[in-house]
Amino acid sequence: MSKAISKRQIGRTSLSVTELGMGGTPLGNMYKAMETEAAIATVHAAAEAGIRYFDTAPVYGFGLSETRLGQGVAKLPREDIVISSKVGYSLVPIDPSELKPGLWDKPPPVRADFDYSRDAVLRGVEASLKRLNTPYIDMLAIHDPDEAVDVGAGVDPFSRSHFRAAMDHAFPTLAELRSQGVIKAIGVGINQWQMLCDFATAGDFDYFLVAGRYTLLDQDSMARLLPLCEQHSISLVIGGPYNSGILATGAVTGATYDYRPAKQQVLERVRGIQAVCARHGVSLQAAALQFPLHHPSVAAIIPGARSIAEVEANLAFSQEPIPPQFWLELKSERLIDPAAPVGLDEPAEAT
């Protein structure tokens, strides 16, 4: 029998989430379509397993993910679950002939346009509430304000148009909704960590949702972003803990890393991790899911699931026992950052 999933606080808010959540991209037909019944059954299975945190976004399947999540949690007591969604894309109906191949399989005839304006944020929140069939959304993030990564010092973040629009318009609107109690936490959801360093100092955020950037394969964010999160009491939610596939499949032919075929250097590193896993009897997937949660700034991981079996597997991997010697060997082999917390002699984890 699985044990209860622990909860962790989001920033300084009164909100807590289960440390294992469920990411909503598969519910939006990412890469491969799901039947609506299967999507709803997957959400039900997650809830039955004790998962109480669900992440989605309007752009995931152009509304499909939010709609299916809303159907899936409809019979649950609303106060027992936490839903996070996002703002920043306006969904615009188009003629079906204008649809182009992309991330979403069999999407509705819609395109997504960036819009961080106050009116767009408010319209987006209202539309999300309808799709989710809920009176409120617990957590809202500014979605995908990605621009060129500026690693060097001295770069003015407000010189970047998406950053400026997000901070000048979307952030004040979300902060107002938070102050009114309409939402409980505001954040940024993005696929890079560098810009999050700028957001951490520019606004009063409760959480960042970052995909694939603090994982068993990528700890580059440790030096700059994670200390800022600790300093500003910003929680991290880790999307893509399998780095889009390779940490679930292993270094097999066709393995993907960050949604592209894995390069040889990545394949070799994963093979090294797999060898350590074999010596200690640890599943690669268990190591991938549990590694980020050892950092005190990480509140949750949100692997996606497109079936009941995947929900059950994620739960089992998140609770698989891992001996301390496993993490020590990964450090000694330089397969993870030697400074990465792994629950041994570091300060106590956040609760």
CATH code, domain carrying 151 = 3.20.20.100
Closest C-alpha among 248, 322, 234 to residue 282: 322
Q: For residues 199 and 193, is the Cβ–Cβ distance under 8 A?
A: no
Closest C-alpha among 38, 20, 22, 4 to residue 83: 22
> Is 60 part of the annotated catalytic residue set?
yes
One-letter amino acid of 252: V
One-letter amino acid of 124: G
Q: For residues 300 and 238, is the Cβ–Cβ distance under 8 A?
A: yes
* Secondary structure class of 242 (helix, strand, coil): coil
d(CA 275, CA 282): 10
Provide the pLDDT for residue 344: 81
> Is 55 part of the annotated catalytic residue set?
yes
How far the first Cα of the chain sits from its last, in Å, is 23
Provide the pLDDT for residue 345: 62
Tokens 């409809």 belong to residue: 74
Provide the pLDDT for residue 129: 97
Q: What is the DSSP letter of 79?
A: G
Residue at 350 is within a domain: no
One-letter amino acid of 347: P
Residue at 307 is within a domain: yes
Q: For residues 272 and 335, is the Cβ–Cβ distance under 8 A?
A: yes
Question: Under 8 Å CB-to-CB from 300, ≥6 apart: which residues?
Answer: 8, 17, 18, 19, 20, 21, 53, 237, 238
Each as own residue / partner, the long-range contacts of residues 100-103 (CB below 8 Å, 24 or more positions apart, any chain) are 103/30, 103/31
Domain count along the chain: 1
Residue at 4 is within a domain: no
Tokens of 55: 């992440």
Residue at 341 is within a domain: no
Q: For residues 163 and 198, is the Cβ–Cβ distance under 8 A?
A: yes
d(CA 347, CA 136): 35
One-letter amino acid of 330: L
Residues 55, 115, 198, 218: which is the catalytic one? Answer: 55
Residues 53, 60, 89, 257: which is the catalytic one? Answer: 60
- With a threshold of 0.85, does the pTM exceed it? yes
Residue at 340 is within a domain: no
List Cα–Cα distances, 302 to 4, 87, 267, 321, 336, in angstroms. Answer: 16, 19, 24, 20, 21
Tokens of 134: 């809920």
pLDDT tens per residue, the chain (351 residues)?
A: 578 999 999 999 999 999 999 999 999 999 999 999 999 999 999 999 999 999 999 999 999 999 999 999 999 999 999 999 999 999 999 999 999 888 999 999 999 999 999 999 999 999 999 999 999 999 999 999 986 555 444 556 666 688 999 999 999 999 999 999 999 999 999 999 999 999 999 999 999 999 999 999 999 999 999 999 999 999 999 999 999 899 999 999 999 999 899 999 999 999 999 999 999 999 999 999 999 999 999 999 999 999 999 999 999 999 999 999 999 999 999 999 999 999 886 543 333
> Is 86 part of the annotated catalytic residue set?
yes
Closest C-alpha among 237, 246, 264 to residue 86: 237
Residue at 124 is within a domain: yes
Residue at 252 is within a domain: yes
Residues 7, 31, 53, 86: which is the catalytic one? Answer: 86
Provide the pLDDT for residue 3: 84
The region that residue 23 occupies, defined by phi over 0 for left and psi between -120 and 50 for alpha, beta otherwise, is beta
Tokens 């997650």 belong to residue: 46
DSSP E strand boundaries for 67-212: 82-87, 89-93, 110-114, 139-143, 185-190, 207-211
Residue at 346 is within a domain: no
Tokens of 246: 């390779």
**What is the residue range of 301's domain?**
14-332
* Secondary structure class of 9 (helix, strand, coil): strand
**Count of other CB atoms within 10 angstroms of residue 326:** 19
